[in-house]
Amino acid sequence: MIVVFSARFRADLDRVWAYIAEDNPRRAVSFVREIVERCNKLSEMPLRFPLIARYERSGIRRMPYGNYLIFYRVSDKRIEVLHVLNGAQDYEAILFPDG
């Protein structure tokens, strides 16, 4: 199964990098690499992490990494990584803006 990164995920990752780089540019690079590596490992066990409670029908799953949450969806042939957000953010409003 292949892992595909959405444009929104890439934009989120750029923001994560920029935020961390303000204090520690080296750590920003390594942290972003760690997130991408973690996402690529989803191909080994894509259903390992739970569906988002109350939004199970969306098929979106949530994988924690440090203070961040990585959101992804599994289909027959691929895993689409949708977002990476800080755990303090209101991810429901971002992922499900129409409620």
User: Which CATH number is correct for 2-95, 3.30.2310.20, 3.30.465.10, 3.30.450.20, 3.90.940.20?
Assistant: 3.30.2310.20
Cβ atoms 25, 17 nearer than 8 A: no
pLDDT band at residue 86, thresholds of 50, 70 and 90? Answer: very high
Confidence at residue 98, expressed as pLDDT on a 0 to 100 scale = 84
DSSP assigned state of 50: P
- DSSP letter assigned to residue 52: P
* 3-class SS of residue 88: coil
Task: Decide if 95 contacts 82 (C-beta within 8 A).
Answer: yes
In the chain, domain spans: 2-95
The DSSP 8-state label assigned to residue 48 in this structure reads S
Sheet strands side by side (includes 2-5): 2-5, 78-86, 68-74, 60-65
User: What tens digit of pLDDT does each residue of 18-48 get?
Assistant: 999 999 999 999 999 999 999 999 999 999 9
